[in-house]
Amino acid sequence: MGSGTYVGVIYAYPQYKARIGRVISLEERIHECVEPSLNGKALPPQSVAMKAIQVYISWLSQHVSPPAELTWLRFPALSLKDQPDTNHGARLFERSCAGCHGADGHGTEMAPPLWGPHFFNIASGLARVSQAAAFIKGNMPITQPGTFSDAEAFDIAAFVNSHPRPDYPPKMLDYPKGGKPTDVPY
Across all residues in the chain, what is the average pLDDT?
Answer: 91
Pick among 1.10.760.10, 3.90.1150.10, 3.40.190.290, 2.40.10.10: CATH of 9-73: 1.10.760.10
Q: Which residue did the predictor score with more confidence, 76 or 135? A: 135
Q: For residues 115 and 28, is the Cβ–Cβ distance under 8 A?
A: no
The answer to whether 9-73 and 86-170 have equal CATH topology is: yes
Is the pLDDT score of 86 beyond 90?
yes
Does the CA dihedral 63-68-70-71 come out positive or negative?
Answer: negative
Burial of 158 (0-12, 13-18, 19+ CB in 10 A): buried
Out of 16-30, 61-75, 126-140, 166-180, pick the least confident: 61-75
Listed by start position, the domains of the chain span 9-73, 86-170
Q: Which residues contact 10 (CB under 8 A, 6 or more apart)?
A: 26, 57, 58, 61
DSSP state of 17: E
d(CA 99, CA 54): 32
Domain over 86-170 is classified CATH 1.10.760.10: yes
Is the pLDDT score of 118 beyond 80?
yes
Pairing type for strands 15-17 and 22-24 reads antiparallel
Is the pLDDT score of 123 beyond 90?
yes
Is the pLDDT score of 2 beyond 60?
no
Q: For residues 29 and 13, is the Cβ–Cβ distance under 8 A?
A: yes
Q: What is the pTM of this model?
A: 0.87
3-state DSSP assignment of residue 22: strand
